[in-house]
Amino acid sequence: MIKNRPTIRDHSAEANLFARRAFVGFVFVVLLIGVLLNNIYTLQVEKHETYQTRSNDNRIKVIPIAPNRGLIYDRNGVLLAENRPVYNLEVIPEQVTDLEQSLEQLGAIISITDTQKNAIIKSNRRSRRFKSQVLKARLNEQEVAIFSVNQHRFPGFSVEARLARHYPYGDALTHALGYVSRLNKKELSELESQGLAKNYRATHDFGKLGIEKFYEQRLHGQVGSQRVEVNNRGRIIRSLSIEHPKPGEDLVLTLDIGLQKIAQEVLEGVRGAIVVMDPKDGGILALYSNPSYDPNLFVHGISSKDYRALLNPDRPLINRATQGRYAPASTVKPHLAILALEEGIVKEETKIWDPGFFQIPNVEHRWRDWLRWGHGHVDVYEAIEQSCDTYFYETAYKLGITKISNFMSQFGFGDLSGIDIHEETAAIMPTTEWKRQRFKESWWPGDTISVGIGQGYWTATPMQITNAVSILVNKGIHRPPHLVQVAKQDNDVEQMYTEEKPPVVLKNPHHWKIALDAMHNTVKKARGTAHKAFLGATYDPAGKTGTAQIVSIAQGEEYDAESLKEKHRDNGIYVGFAPYNDPRIVVTVIVENQGGGSTIAAPIARKLMDYYFETYPSHTEGK
Amino acid sequence: MNQLRQRRSFWQRIHIDLPLLIALLVMMAGSLAVVYSASGQNMDMMARHATRMLGAIIALFVMAQISPNTLKRLVFPLYTVGLIMLIGVFFFGITINGAKRWLDIGITRFQPSEIMKLGVPMMVAWYIGRQQLPPKILHIFIGFAIVLVPTILIQKQPDLGTSLLIASSGIFVLFLSGLSWRLIGSSVLLAIPGAFAMWHFVMHEYQKQRVLTLLDPESDPLGAGYHIIQSKIAIGSGGIEGKGWLHGTQSQLEFLPERHTDFIFSVLSEEFGLLGVVMLLSVYLFIIGRGLYIAVNAQEAFSKLLAGALTLTFFVYIFVNIGMVSGLLPVVGVPLPLISYGGTSMVTLMAGFGIIMAIATDKKMLLK
């Protein structure tokens, strides 16, 4: 290597070469630093806002806060649905080192079911570990105390107070108020399609029945939110700002809880329904269906055992007041009398001979009157007062189904009453067309005759019967029934009027008075069917009894040999109003399978009216 | 005048280049501040970091005392020992996190590749420095071979970052020695099919992934792209003035991964903004300028080439690290020199600056 060195090293040339190369190197360094700076400048200056936003998106999370559900009061300000604090044992899985071991130790001091444990372990395996999960709902005071003493042993576990719906009157109001229960997936997807899901981000409960369901949007309120700073694992570091939720609207009902409780009391032990309505504004004062059940069972999730108990043959889940389809029976005789008068089939003074039965000319079949030996010669007053069937067999036969159907539809039969709960059926106001579709059969004249006394194919709900009589006492003005009077939020009070429906207009308004007077006589006159029930009343009542052969209230009911006998007994109906000359209430009572309207239903209506006029004595006197 | 000479001779006597030392100490002070923030005010980590810094400064002082002549005699044994150890790693190395980089030498575990960070440029500088400059083709090939063998061994560990740094330190020697531009040009042309071959035959799947992620980090925001996205968010959200020391949300709330090591530049950018970045780069530029100045003024070819190559390699660290965290380059595990938390690389780096200082204060240079 050494021997063949061709030239002597030129040190200054080498130094120059090196210096040039070092300079080139330095220029490269400066250029590349320029490249770096240019890139940093782009990020920090030109795209600063974008990255600022993304940085905030990283660290700022918005936690929704559920609004407090609106409260529900009766007409006198008595609280019917409230929000009560309940204490839940909750856990944030992220903060627990050994979840299964902690659950084991916790199980030693507070009873925790395996289902509850597994639910937490399962949800822990999915995401959202930093979110608080309910381990055990509704701790009792003792459990809260035991846990609080031992809390230091269980980091990540805590007792949290939440508001939960509570119904202090329990089963007295279930069918009217309904209840809330856990918001489920189906409801959530429905809310999504309506664009309301955002408002439910923090909400646990959802109205499932009655007022709670119908007024869900008003009761719910507006979701609030809290902006918090979180770290990369989602743990909350601090709160940045809070937008408070807006509580739901409070509702004041037209119900009178006192009257409602009487309704429950008087139906004790029987199946039936009661509707009390104020004909002046359509407000429902009482709406009760028996048997009932405790709505509080549903709030925290009903056990399958409790739920099965509700599926008994008495069908407590059905709201008989609005879903029960009963033959209206003789309670529709006043309306039918008006129609007969209007159509000129009878006059006020026309008397019809009742031998105890009715026969269509040239037909063998006899339609029997309830009074085997007949009522003799009866005019329209006596026919209603004594509930003479033959009178109405004959007028109905002469009117025909189409006229009856058209006229009675104006009183709301065969249609939803429009009451502000969703659990309602339209029942059936039969027509020839209806029968053809339903049974593929034509309408026989005999079908009309049963309809003439509110039976046959004709069914109605207690709500419809009440509403029809309310229209009657209002002489045609149709104020549909409603349960909510006022919605309140802060200082805003909104009157919840129900719009009037088209009135029933008579050619001769005097016919109203004939029907109403006849109902008055039913109570006043000694031969009247409700005379005995209202003896000695301090107010001036009027009404109409009814006794219906059985029409099953539900389809597909099981054949039950034990109860067969009872179920074949008549349904008793009474619909009445008082005071006669300035009606303040219309009362409908239906009692299933306990016999006639005058012996069972009318005395119950009497008790309700007695209570009402004791409570509101100024309403006793008419105009 | 007399006093000035007196003082100057003191620093000369202990072989320290004062401007370079001050710049390095400024960087270390800055490092303490940023690591304090990035570690979440972890005092244990701060203590360890400060201890390592002290060790690094001692290494600098020790290396500064070795004259280039003495160093030349150490080059061959150092390189040979390093090479043997790398081969040892290949057969008996300890695997941590899937990489076989460590050798257990009884007392402690250690990375032989750290030796080669100095060993390779020294060996190439020594070999090329013996020849007349510019070097002949044969010498260039031998020089390349000196670089290539350890580079491949380290690449196989795998440690792409270190192998790149070591390769570039050797190549810088060749460049500074006056490698003809024609050769440089043709190797760049060769690099294109070379890169193609690298992609298909050499690179590991995770390394390919890093490159792909670089091209489109948003394609996998929660996976491989997460690091780059979060880092860019940190840098970008810092703006001109930054969010303030200890107030970087990306770092303090732990959205930024590896924030006290490889991604510490993002922390600095977030908390001190563009102003902080400019200051950092200015000090870096000063150190590089000073290093090249020393190289140009060195007496011997070996000293020139070594000082120049070490200085330019220092810049490669900076460029690769900042380029990587700001999304210009793929994620390659290279720390930000003098700033990142982490032991050995800082010691090696400061030892390198010790060598540069030894060159700066070499007696022959003073004679000039």
Report how far residue B222's alpha carbon sits from residue A504's, in angstroms, rounded to the nearest whole number. 70
Q: Is the pLDDT of residue A514 over 90?
A: yes
Q: Is residue A54 part of a domain?
A: no
Report how far residue A287's alpha carbon sits from residue A262's, in angstroms, rounded to the nearest whole number. 11
| A311-321: pLDDT as tens digits | 888 889 999 99
Q: What is the pLDDT of residue A402?
A: 95
Residues B163 and B212 in one domain: no
CB-based contact, A242 to chain B, within 8 Å: no
| A417-427: pLDDT as tens digits | 999 999 999 99
| A437-464: pLDDT as tens digits | 999 999 998 899 999 999 999 999 999 9
Q: Work out the pLDDT band at A236, boundaries 50, 70, 90.
A: confident
Residues B45 and B169 in one domain: no
Clarify whether A450 is annotated catalytic.
Answer: no
Residues A140 and A127 in one domain: yes
Asked if B304 and A18 come within 8 Å (Cβ–Cβ), the reply is yes
Q: Is residue A2 part of a domain?
A: no
Q: What is the pLDDT of residue A127?
A: 52
Residues of chain B numbered 96-155 and touching chain A (CB < 8 Å): 132-134
Asked if B255 and A35 come within 8 Å (Cβ–Cβ), the reply is no
Q: For chain B, 368 residues long, give each residue's pLDDT as a single digit of tens.
A: 454 455 557 888 889 999 999 999 999 999 999 999 999 899 999 999 999 999 999 999 999 999 999 999 999 999 999 999 999 888 888 887 777 888 877 777 778 888 899 999 999 999 998 888 788 889 999 999 999 999 999 988 888 888 889 999 999 999 999 888 888 888 888 888 888 887 887 778 877 777 776 667 676 666 667 888 899 999 999 999 999 999 998 888 888 888 888 899 999 999 999 999 999 999 999 999 999 999 999 988 999 999 999 999 999 999 999 999 998 887 777 899 999 997 678 899 999 999 999 999 886 544 44
Residues B30 and B143 in one domain: no
Chain B: residue whose CA lies nearest to A30: B285
Q: What is the pLDDT of residue B103?
A: 81
Q: Work out the pLDDT band at A9, boundaries 50, 70, 90.
A: confident
Q: Is the pLDDT of residue A505 over 70?
A: yes
Distance (Å) of CA A474 to CA A21, A380, A420: 111, 20, 21
Residues of chain A numbered 85-144 and touching chain B (CB < 8 Å): none
Long-range contacts of B9-18 (CB under 8 A, 24+ apart): B11/B361, B12/B361, B12/B366, B14/B61, B14/B64, B15/B64, B15/B65, B15/B357, B15/B358, B15/B360, B15/B361, B16/B61, B16/B64, B16/B357, B16/B361, B17/B290, B17/B294, B17/B356, B17/B357, B17/B360, B17/B361
Residues B229 and B247 in one domain: yes
Residues A207 and A271 in one domain: no
CB-based contact, A198 to chain B, within 8 Å: no
Q: Which amino acid is at A317?
A: L
Q: What is the pLDDT of residue B367?
A: 46
| A361-380: pLDDT as tens digits | 888 888 888 888 889 999 99
Report how far residue B304's alpha carbon sits from residue B297's, in angstroms, rounded to the nearest whole number. 8
Q: Is residue A550 part of a domain?
A: yes
Q: Is residue A472 part of a domain?
A: yes
Q: Kindly state the average pLDDT of the residues A381-407.
A: 94
Residues of B in contact with A5 (CB under 8 A): 132
Q: Can you give the residue range of the structural domain that contains B50?
A: 23-65+204-368
CB-based contact, A230 to chain B, within 8 Å: yes
CB-based contact, A35 to chain B, within 8 Å: yes
Query: Catalytic pick from A102, A292, A330, A598?
Result: A330
ipTM of predicted assembly, 2 dp: 0.92
Q: Work out the pLDDT band at A106, boundaries 50, 70, 90.
A: confident
> Which class for A360: exposed (0-12), middle (13-18), buried (19 or more C-beta within 10 A)?
middle
Q: Which of A561, A231, A411, A441 is nearest to B40 (CA)?
A: A231
Q: Work out the pLDDT band at A39, boundaries 50, 70, 90.
A: very high
Residues B302 and B158 in one domain: no
Number of separate domains in chain A: 3
Residues B368 and B231 in one domain: yes
**Residue that has been written with the tokens 């109405």 in this structure:** A392
Residues of B in contact with A54 (CB under 8 A): 233, 236-237
Q: Kindly state the average pLDDT of the residues A190-200.
A: 91
Chain A: residue whose CA lies nearest to B241: A44
Percentage of the residues of chain A whose pLDDT score is greater than 90? 62
| Low-confidence winner among A3-7, A99-103, B123-127 (lowest mean pLDDT) | A3-7
Residues B194 and B209 in one domain: no
The residue out of B159, B177, B203 marking a domain boundary is B203
CB A272 within 8 A of CB A603: no
Q: Can you give the residue range of the structural domain that contains A455?
A: 257-306+321-554+563-619
The residue out of B203, B219, B252 marking a domain boundary is B203
Q: What is the pLDDT of residue B172?
A: 93
| Low-confidence winner among A177-191, A503-517, B48-62, B196-210 (lowest mean pLDDT) | B196-210
SS3 A487: strand
Specify which of A13-27, A550-564, B278-292, B326-340 reaches the highest per-range mean pLDDT.
B278-292
CB A247 within 8 A of CB A215: no
CB-based contact, A25 to chain B, within 8 Å: yes
Q: What is the pLDDT of residue A551?
A: 44
Q: Which of A172, A161, A166, A468 is nearest to A338 (CA)?
A: A468
Residues A230 and A363 in one domain: no
Q: Is the pLDDT of residue A241 over 70?
A: yes
Residues A399 and A515 in one domain: yes
Residues A172 and A233 in one domain: yes
Residues of chain B numbered 267-306 and touching chain A (CB < 8 Å): 269, 273-274, 277-278, 281, 284-285, 288-289, 292, 295-296, 301, 304-305
Asked if A44 and B240 come within 8 Å (Cβ–Cβ), the reply is yes
The residue out of B203, B219, B248 marking a domain boundary is B203
Which parts of A359-477 are beta strand (E)? 367-368, 376-378
Q: Is the pLDDT of residue A330 over 80?
A: yes
Read off the tokens for A385. Answer: 């007062």
Residues of chain B numbered 192-231 and touching chain A (CB < 8 Å): 230
Q: Which of B225, B261, B262, B264 is nearest to B248 (CA)?
A: B264
In a 13 Å sphere around the CA of A365, the CA atoms on its Cβ side amount to: 8
Residues A542 and A447 in one domain: yes
Q: What is the pLDDT of residue A566?
A: 64
**CATH, residue A481:** 3.40.710.10
Q: What does residue B313 show for φ and ψ, rounded to 5 degrees? A: -65, -40
Q: What does residue B312 show for φ and ψ, rounded to 5 degrees? A: -70, -35
Asked if A25 and B249 come within 8 Å (Cβ–Cβ), the reply is no
